[in-house]
Amino acid sequence: MLNPRLAARYAKSILDLSIEQKSMEQVYGDMELIAKISKSNPDFVSMLKSPVIHADMKIKALDAILKKQVSELTVLFYKLLVKKERESVLPEIAKAFIEQYKVFNNIHVVNLTTAVALSDELIESILEQIRATTDMQKIELQTKVDESLIGGFILQIGDKMVEGSVSYDLKQIARQFENNDFIYKIR
């Protein structure tokens, strides 16, 4: 069951504690690992959510999967979650932590969808253009290829979107034809 408010509170707690202990970067890496495991392994998430599996077994499983790869703070954190019977929220907490980390460090997520894969030089040019037109200096660019765009791109920064694709232009032209903007009425 999704509980974003609870996840956000726990994420804020671990973020504050990691800042206090000067281990924020390490905990960020740990949370990225947990989010990656949660996304790629549905059995991991099922194990966390299962009421049948006893808390001791969940701690052993988490230790086997994570203990050698994560910081001591993260180990103590997931053990606390199991003790409080909140381990099912761990994947959500990891995502919320990553979001809060990016906000704290002023990292902006930019989504770029293109019809074809872009070269590194073109991506860097786009990033420079974004930096020049906005006050964003730290940018995390997420690229995606969608051949249905035919050509051009879609750029999304937060809640703003720039639609510069050929498919969008063709849809606009089709709408104008539907409205009969190009047909003269002869009487």
Q: What's the rounded Cα separation, in Å, for the pair 58 and 67? A: 13
Q: Are residues 11 and 96 in the same domain?
A: yes
- Residue 93 belongs to some domain of the structure: yes
Q: Is the pLDDT of residue 47 over 60?
A: yes
- Number of Cβ within a 10 Å radius of residue 51: 7
DSSP structural state of residue 117: P
- Residue 51 belongs to some domain of the structure: yes
pLDDT score at 186: 52
Range of the domain at 78: 4-103
Burial tier of 108 (Cβ tally within 10 Å: 0-12, 13-18, 19+): middle
- Residue 184 belongs to some domain of the structure: no
CATH number at residue 135: 3.40.30
Q: Are residues 15 and 86 in the same domain?
A: yes
Q: Is the pLDDT of residue 185 over 60?
A: no
Tokens for 105? Answer: 């460090």
pLDDT score at 174: 80
pLDDT digits (tens, 9 = 90+) for 117-128: 999 999 999 999
With tokens 């956000």, the residue in question is 8
Q: Are residues 172 and 116 in the same domain?
A: yes
Instruction: Give residue 110's pLDDT band: very low, low, confident or very high (50, 70, 90).
Output: very high
Q: Are residues 24 and 87 in the same domain?
A: yes
- Residue 95 belongs to some domain of the structure: yes
Q: Are residues 46 and 136 in the same domain?
A: no
The pTM of the full predicted model, rounded to 2 decimals, is: 0.82
Q: What's the rounded Cα separation, in Å, for the pair 142 and 159? A: 15
